[in-house]
Amino acid sequence: MADQEHENASESSKSDKSEDYDPRLDFFSDRFDPLLALAKRNLKAPDISAKKYDNLAFYESAANKEKNPQQGQQSSKKKQAMDVEVRRKWLPHQMPIRAEAAVPRKTVFSRMETMKGPLALLRTCRDERLQIKVFTRNQKGIRGYCIGYLAAFDKHWNLALEEVFEFWTRPKKRKVPALDSAEMMEEPRKRVRPPRIKITPHETDKKLENCTRNVGQFLMKGEHVALISVVRDSSNKG
């Protein structure tokens, strides 16, 4: 009776072991399923210190290198060849041509340095800070003159002047109001006011009046220039 009970217990233990065993979770089985092993909790690998790979491709590559080390050397050589920069083999006539130095762009200031003839005198007045007297003209004749220091000029006789004193004559009665008239000065839209004009009576003609004003910077077009002379005595502005 006791022998029969022992046999029954051994058979039940064998049946329990057979029920717990799953060949898909056996690392050494041909039916091993890695996805199921990853999903199974508390499943211990046979060798904890084994090297881990990110995917099967890395594992397969490492396994092939162990089996055939020459193949691994060939793959490394191919990788090095791919890393080399690809360059096209140019023929001598296909090589890039060295470009000539770019010509510096000419400006008003650079052109002033190369002026010759009468314009060279203007460069001297600019460099030595000499006052010049510029006679201006209108449609009928000489309008007046300006005295100031030359800052810049060009071949068209356009002048940029500084510290300018302007003198001219005009008729007392005009159809168009002057810039210093009361109507123009009282307009709220006129934000930038022109320089004040000092008016004095004309010496000979009662219909005319003399005008004088001081301008810090003055730009004069070349078509208004009639004559330019150097003022030797800077203190005399008349």
**Of 67, 65, 87, 63, nearest in space to 75 by CA:** 65
| Per-residue pLDDT reduced to its tens digit, 16-31 | 445 577 888 887 888 8
Domain end position, chosen among 35, 56, 78: 78
The single residue listed with the structure tokens 């296909």 is 94
Same domain, 46 and 145: no
The domain of 40 spans 14-78
Is residue 87 included in any domain, yes or no?
Answer: no
Domain end position, chosen among 30, 59, 78: 78
Distance CA 231, CA 238 (A): 10
Please report, for the domain that includes residue 139, its CATH number: 2.30.30.100
Is residue 54 included in any domain, yes or no?
Answer: yes
Distance CA 50, CA 24 (A): 20
pTM to 2 decimal places: 0.49
Structural domains counted in the chain: 2
| Per-residue pLDDT reduced to its tens digit, 154-195 | 999 999 999 999 999 888 887 765 555 555 555 555 566 778
Structure tokens at 17: 């072991």
